[in-house]
Amino acid sequence: MIRSGTIPGLAFGHESDGDGRSDVAARNRISDPLGISRAWATVRQVHGSDVTTVTTPGDHGEADGLVTATRDLPITVATADCLPIALAGTRSIGVVHAGWRGLAAGVIESGVAAIAALGDEVDRAVIGPHIRSCCYEVGDEVIEAVGGFAAATRAGTQSVDLADAALSRLGGVTTEVVDICTMDDGAFASYRETATPHRQVTVAWLT
């Protein structure tokens, strides 16, 4: 697990930690060392922009993010190249799953708005391990959809910097970017690399 100094109640899993959304044994392995509840709040991700506000654990339907002001309630998303992004205010916390489609649809803005609806304001964010521009070859349609942020892969082909696209949507919020490429680092599931069905989870909670 990768911990963040920016948001204490946040952990990014490796593929080997397992998918605690559906695998109870993996959830227990992740939860116990973190000292958090084994009862998580989850959603079924669809690469959209909906973010759900939750107060209880369990499956909260189709969405691509969760926010909560309930203390000690773990909320989670899962990724395998997309960006896992944690958003924190003084009294609430959120996580969103942001691939290029989610970025284009406004999932980050939805997360910020959901925290605002709780009477709070995002003042810190962390972007977790995801496919970086070094490896993410894309066509013009992806660059257009996210509003630019063209880059180049190590091979010199056209790429896009998803982290930069996310940062532009976060405005001036203090944001930590974990400098790990999921396609480069074998500790992480990468759909682009192997079309794997596996995912790593990101878990956040109010401490």
Q: What is the pLDDT of residue 166?
A: 97
Does the pLDDT of residue 4 top 90, yes or no? Answer: no
d(CA 161, CA 172): 18
Q: Which of 98-122 are b and which e, b meaning 16 or more Cβ less than 10 Å from the residue's Cβ?
A: bbbbbbbbbbbebbbebbeebebeb
- Closest to 204 measured CA to CA, from 89, 80, 104, 82: 89
Question: CA 139 → CA 43, 75, 146, 160, distances in Å?
Answer: 29, 33, 12, 9
Whether residue 2 is predicted with pLDDT greater than 90 in this model: the reply is yes
Give residue 5's pLDDT.
86
CA angle 103, 194, 149 (to 5 degrees): 30
CA–CA separation, 65 and 158 (whole Å): 29
Residue type, 77: V
Question: For position 124, what pLDDT does the model report?
Answer: 96
DSSP state of 17: G
* pTM of the model as a whole: 0.94
Question: What does the alpha-carbon distance between residue 158 and residue 139 come to, in Å, rounded to a whole number?
Answer: 7
How distant is the alpha carbon of residue 134 from its chain centre? 19
Question: What is the per-residue pLDDT across 103-133, written as a single tens digit (0 to 9) for each?
Answer: 999 999 999 999 999 999 999 999 999 999 9
Burial class (CB in 10 A: 0-12, 13-18, 19+), 141: exposed
Q: Please give the average per-residue pLDDT across 79-103, as a whole number.
A: 97
pLDDT score for 161:
96
pLDDT in tens, 13-69: 999 999 999 899 999 999 999 999 999 999 999 999 999 999 999 999 999 999 999
The model's pLDDT over 157-175, given as tens digits with 9 standing for 90+, comes to 999 999 999 999 998 899 9
Query: pLDDT band for position 71 (50/70/90)?
Result: very high
Q: Coil, strand or helix: which one is 29? A: helix
Structure token digits, residue 190? 């990468």
Is residue 177 pLDDT above 90, yes or no?
Answer: yes
Which uninterrupted H or E stretch holds 144?
helix 140-146
